[in-house]
Structures are given as structure tokens and as C-alpha cells.
Amino acid sequence: MADVEKVHCLIIGSGPAGYTAAIYAARANLKPVLYQGLQPGGQLTITTDVENYPGYPNGIMGPQMMIDFEQQAQRMGADIRWGMATKVDASVRPFRVEIDEEKWIEADALIVATGASAKWLGLESEQRLNGHGVSACAVCDGFFFKGQEVAIVGAGDTACEEALYLSKLCSTVHMLVRRGEMRASKVMQARVLNTPNIKVYWNSETKEVMGEHKVDSIKILNHETKEETVIPVKAFFVAIGHTPNSNLFKGILDMDDQGYLITVPGTSKTNVEGIFACGDVQDKNYRQAVTAAGSGCMAALDTERYLGALEHAAH
Ligand code: NDP
């Protein structure tokens, strides 16, 4: 049989939720082991300036902030490792988690902080200008385009909410909707359509994001009229949904129809006792670094109580 290692508290994921859980768990002497996953630092490593995380009065670059989180967790004694959880067996106690398809970890408690990934259109130019005017988070990056013209693609509640947010900062928000109608709730649609500086383009597909080193315009195609239009904008926001990284837990943890893990409201508890979830994998609503960090703290505190009760019962 492959290698097996026993740990007390295992954390999967290395965004603000995972690292905060590690800081708290380490300070509570739970000897946490954290596996970082495919993208150490998570979604913040693909952003630039972060100005809305309290405690950084001059702002901070997203990747640097995640290095700070990691170092703080390490200083508290968390064991941070490169590696990816590839299988979970929650039918046994301790739980068993396979890492990199080659070794198994046995864990008394498990904290899931695997995050979510923004969906992208898949254009080469979108990727090239990511972080240079292309963003998947208006709340994070809208501020940098104060008074400018920007575009947003998407037609769900998130796109509407972000378009409204941008409309308060930017001179004009060009909103690109691929069909002749929006998926968003009627109330959100009405708000968007009644906002004078949001201009909605129906049946419109983004063909290209243009600009040498930063975004300067976009090219769109109207499917009805077959007309191509170039719109000068300084930023291009993609709001076409997120995918929670929860595949590993299919059939094990309760999730909603989009794959977000379901936790008991006000806690980080999942339907399996001893498995806790925090951060974006269980939050489709707020999705902020600070809310993820807060929920990571909750997961560590819930884990501490769970492990305390387990030890008490064993004596
Ligand atoms: P949704 O999946 O609801 O919407 C995604 C939108 O992106 C759709 O309009 C879809 O178009 C569009 N889209 C997808 N792919 C492309 C593409 N390649 N090109 C152009 N457009 C594309 O995601 P959301 O993030 O908006 O919302 C996720 C969930 O969270 C929903 O249940 C939503 O209601 C909820 N939510 C609720 C909020 C609230 O109540 N305040 C706030 C934010 C989210 P199409 O319609 O054509 O498929």
C-alpha cells in the first residue's frame, strides 16, 4: 500500500480562507498540515493591487498578500506543503485524503478551502491582458478605472450587480449580453436598465480585447445585424460565473446545483461531522478576501471544538 501519514487537522487550499484557518489552527495547537493545491495563493495571485483588505493602508499586491498570509501561517507553526488532494474517503475515521495520486493522509478533521475559479471567455487577448485592464472582479478592480469608460460581459445577477457597482464609479459601463434577454432576476435587470450610464448591447459577443500593454478597446459582434463595433474602454470585466472547486467532494458533501458546498448557516459545518468548509467553495455571494479569511477563522474554531469533543469522548 502507498505511504500513509497521520495528521490531526488537514487543510486543503491556500487562499485567504485556507491560510487563515491554518493560522488559527496552529495557534490552537491543532498542528495543521495545509496542502496548497494547483494555484498556491488562489485567485488573489492573479490580481494586482488589493486596496480593500483592512490592515494595508497603502494597499498591497495580491500575490504579495498571499505570501504574507503564508509566512504568518508558517510562523505560527502550520506545515505548508506543495501538493494537490486527488481523492477523499469520508467513510472511515480518521478521514483519508490522497495527495498527488501517490500518498495518503489520515486526518481527524478536514478543512476544505479549495476556492472557486472565475470563468473566462477563452480569448487569447483576454488572457494576455489579464491584470492589465481585464478582470473578473469589479469590486476588486473597478476603483482603478474611476471616471473612465469600461465594459462588462455577462447577464446574470453577478454581472448586473457589478455593472451597477461600476456605474457609480465609471463614466459609462458598456454591458455585453450574448442573447436577447438576461438571466438575472427581474429586479436586478430593471435596476440596470434604469441606470442612465449603463449601455446594454443585446445579442453581442466579444471578439477581441485590444491594447498593447493595457486594455484600450474591445471589438464586439452583433449576431442579429452582423455588425462589428469597436468600443474604446479602459477595462474589461468578465462576469460570466464562477466554478467552485468541489469536484473532489461529489457524493460526499452536500452541494447546491452549481456545486457550492452547503454549510450549516452561521457555521462552517458540512453534512459530514468533522469536515468543515470555508471560503469561496461555499460562498457564491460575497467572494471577498476578507470574507473568505473570516470564514477560515470560523472553520478553525469549529474544528478546534470538534477535535476537543472527540478527545474528551476518547478519555
Ligand atoms: P450565472 O450563471 O447566473 O450567469 C452567468 C451569465 O453569464 C449568464 O447570463 C450567461 O449567459 C453569461 N455567460 C456565460 N458564458 C458566457 C459567454 N461565454 N459569453 C457571454 N456571456 C456568457 O452566474 P452569476 O455569477 O451571475 O450568478 C451565480 C449565482 O449566484 C446565480 O444563482 C445568481 O442568482 C446568484 N447571485 C445572486 C446575487 C444576489 O442575489 N444579489 C448576486 C450574485 C449572484 P446566458 O444567460 O446566455 O447563459
Please write the tens of the pLDDT for every residue from 268-305.
999 999 999 999 999 999 999 999 999 999 999 999 99
Residue having the nearest C-alpha atom to atom 46 of ligand 1: 183
pLDDT tens column, 14-56: 999 999 999 999 999 999 999 999 889 998 887 777 888 999 9
pLDDT at 30: 98
Tell me, yes or no, whether 247 and 107 share the same domain.
yes
Decide whether any atom of ligand 1 lies within 6 Å of the 240 Cβ.
Answer: yes
Task: Give the residue numbers annotated as catalytic, written as ranges.
Answer: 137, 140-141
Angle between helices 186-193 and 157-167 (to 10 degrees): 30
- Please report the sign of the dihedral spanned by the C-alpha atoms of residue 229, residue 241, residue 64, residue 167: positive
The residue from 217, 238, 259 where one domain ends is 238
Q: What is the C-alpha separation between 221 and 233, in angstroms, rounded?
A: 16
Q: Is the pLDDT of residue 315 over 90?
A: no
Question: Do residues 41 and 67 lie in contact, with contact meaning Cβ atoms separated by under 8 Å?
Answer: yes
The residue from 238, 260, 280 where one domain ends is 238
188 CA → ligand 1 middle, Å = 12
| Number of domains, the chain | 2
Tell me, yes or no, whether 129 and 148 share the same domain.
yes
pLDDT at 38: 87
Decide whether any atom of ligand 1 lies within 6 Å of the 152 Cβ.
Answer: no
The residue from 238, 259, 293 where one domain ends is 238
Domain that includes residue 164, residue range:
120-238
Residue having the nearest C-alpha atom to atom 9 of ligand 1: 155
Q: What is the C-alpha separation between 115 and 96, in angstroms, rounded?
A: 20
pLDDT at 2: 61
Residue having the nearest C-alpha atom to atom 45 of ligand 1: 183
Tell me, yes or no, whether 254 and 112 share the same domain.
yes
Decide whether any atom of ligand 1 lies within 6 Å of the 295 Cβ.
Answer: no
Tell me, yes or no, whether 140 and 222 share the same domain.
yes
CATH of the domain at 45: 3.50.50.60
Mean per-residue pLDDT of the chain: 96
Instruction: Look up the pTM and report it.
Output: 0.80
Q: Is the pLDDT of residue 1 over 60?
A: no
User: What's the mean pLDDT in 113-138?
Assistant: 95
Q: Letter for the amino acid at 301?
A: L
Q: Which position has the grid cell 448586473?
A: 160
